[in-house]
Amino acid sequence: MKYLKIIGQEKISGEVKISGAKNAALPLIAATILAKNTIKIGNMPDVVDTNTFFKLLNNLGSTSKREKNTVTINTFDIKETKATYDIVKTMRASILVLGPLLARFGHCEVSLPGGCAIGQRPVDLHLKALEAMGASIEIKNGYIEAKCEKGLQGANIVFDKVTVGGTENTIMAAALAKGKSKIINAAKEPEIVQLCEVLKDAGLEIKGIGSSELTIIGTNKELLNFKDFDIIPDRIEAGTYLCAGAIANAKLTLTNVIPKHLSAVLAKLEEMNFKITKDKNSLTIYPTSFIKPANIITSEYPGFPTDMQAQFMALATQAQGTSVFDERLFENRYMHVSELVRMGADIHLNGNIASIHGKPGTLSATDVMATDLRASSALVLAALVAKGETNIHRIYHLDRGYEDLEGKLKLLGANVSRHNE
């Protein structure tokens, strides 16, 4: 196993290019199951999760070829419709093949994803939506067995709770269903907007893009003719580098970003006393004389993203005063707290409320354990300002979602290296 060694308190500055969004890429790779043609996808992040997703599709019979950040994929020869446990266990987002496989083939089996470090993460809402479209679903031997030999029927689907993955699965299923589907209380994340736009460009009739009510006229199993496209920039990677600039009190410029996707994150940084300037595709954060504490409630887009909560907690440890965080999306998304406390942070947890008593310059280096993707990035941020050498273990979590993290940090001047345990 590999670990990252970071020697803290090195001065960082400069420019960092943000990669394509992992969370946009995964549903879009799944969506290629709905295509009748070969598709070239650009700005594809080269991270473990996207590569695992291509492997999953290749196991089903697709062919794909990666050249750096461009991938060419053809799913026309897919015959196999079973997503097996060995892949699903490594990546819960594999559930995103359920909707498109079922819509195209009328049947499929997908290993039931288990819980994960940040919470139970059920998929009941995905299944309920597919059932509303006429699918019969059984859970057998740890697999979701979905059938609808006559083909899915358009339906009115009202989500009891906003779900990103559930909305994506339903959009992809509705695309090849017969007739009109309405998805009410749909998620509105930029990643969902891109999924809808790519499908629209492929000829799908879809209305309400970017709103919580989507209307889709299904093609009745007619496959779509995709155009080539580029993945949108990763707003969470961008937010993480903004926090790196903030915590290290550095001037950093991010390129290849869409600033409006980061509105909630930028507003919070400004509230914490950081100046940020925006251009069409770039953002610059400037050093500040002191960091103000902030209160954060995570919510669905366009609210403050749960995927940025851990990074802001690392930053809040350096504020002058107490910040209060309320994690509303996942029941167990504070795994980074005990590791930050081991580095000297003063954080108290009460259920899903965390009180962070910030004090600049108090973090000290030690060995810490990464527990999930974003928790790991919080530890990287803390290590950038901790005094001494921090070793972050289990960095495979980071490799799932951050493209070339060490390379990018090194270019900024950080002292980061990767080692074998």
- Residue 154: closest CA among 203, 218, 202: 218
Q: Does 104 bind ligand UD1 (CB under 6 A)?
A: no
Is residue 345 a contact residue for ligand UD1 (CB under 6 A)? no
Using the rule CB under 6 A, is 122 a contact of ligand UD1? Answer: yes
Strand locations in 130-238 (E): 136-140, 143-147, 156-158, 178-184, 205-207, 213-219, 229-230
Among 20, 166, 233, 259, binds ligand UD1 (CB under 6 A): 166
Q: Does 330 bind ligand UD1 (CB under 6 A)?
A: yes
Choose the binding region for ligand UD1 from 82-90, 164-172, 288-296, 340-348 (rule: CB under 6 A).
164-172
Of all residues in this chain, which one has the CB nearest to ligand UD1 in the complex? 165
- Would you say 257 or 291 has its CB closer to ligand UD1? 257
How far apart, in Å, are the Cα atoms of 394 and each of 48, 125, 241, 363, 372? 14, 31, 21, 21, 9
Query: Could you give the 3-state DSSP secondary structure of residue 102?
Result: helix
Residue 125 CB, shortest distance to ligand UD1, in Å, is 3
234 contributes a contact to ligand UD1 by CB under 6 A: no
CA distances from 212 to 114, 159, 186, 209 (A): 28, 10, 4, 8
Q: Does 45 bind ligand UD1 (CB under 6 A)?
A: no
Q: Does 161 sit near ligand UD1 (CB under 6 A)?
A: yes
Cβ proximity of 49 and 400 under 8 Å: yes
With CB under 6 A as the contact rule, the residue among 329, 380, 382, 392 that binds ligand UD1 is 329
Told to judge if 148 belongs to the known catalytic residues of this protein, a careful annotator would answer: no
Considering the rule CB under 6 A, would residue 26 count as an interface residue with ligand UD1?
Answer: yes
Q: Which of 12, 33, 47, 125 binds ligand UD1 (CB under 6 A)?
A: 125
Contact flag: residue 163 with ligand UD1 (CB under 6 A)? yes
Helices (H), 21-123: 22-31, 48-60, 85-88, 98-105
User: Which one of residues 121, 147, 182, 393 is an interface residue with ligand UD1 (CB under 6 A)?
Assistant: 121
**Residue 23 interacting with ligand UD1 (CB under 6 A):** yes
Question: Does the footprint of ligand UD1 cover residue 227 (CB under 6 A)?
Answer: no
Instruction: Report, in Å, the least distance between residue 124 CB and ligand UD1.
Output: 5
Three-state secondary structure call for residue 69: coil
Q: Considering the complex, what minimum distance in angstroms separates the CB of residue 330 from ligand UD1? A: 5
User: What's the burial of 217, exposed, middle or buried (CB within 10 Å: 0-12/13-18/19+)?
Assistant: middle
Residue 285's nearest CA partner among 12, 9, 7 is 12
Tokens of 314: 């690392």
Which burial class, exposed, middle or buried, applies to 69 when counting CB atoms under 10 A from its CB (0-12, 13-18, 19+)? middle
* Of the candidates 163, 13, 166, 119, the residue with the CA atom closest to the CA atom of residue 374: 119
Answer yes or no whether residue 194 interacts with ligand UD1 by CB under 6 A: no
Interface with ligand UD1 (CB under 6 A), residue total 19
Q: How far apart are alpha carbons 76 and 158 in whole angstroms?
A: 32
Q: Which of 109, 234, 237, 307 is in the footprint of ligand UD1 by CB under 6 A?
A: 307
Tell me how crowded residue 289 is: count the other CB atoms within 10 A of its CB. Answer: 6
Asked whether position 383 contacts ligand UD1 by CB under 6 A, the answer is no
H helices of 82-163, in order, are 85-88, 98-105, 124-132
Site residues, ligand UD1 (CB under 6 A): 23, 26, 93, 119, 121-126, 161, 163-166, 306-307, 329-330
Residues known to be catalytic: 116
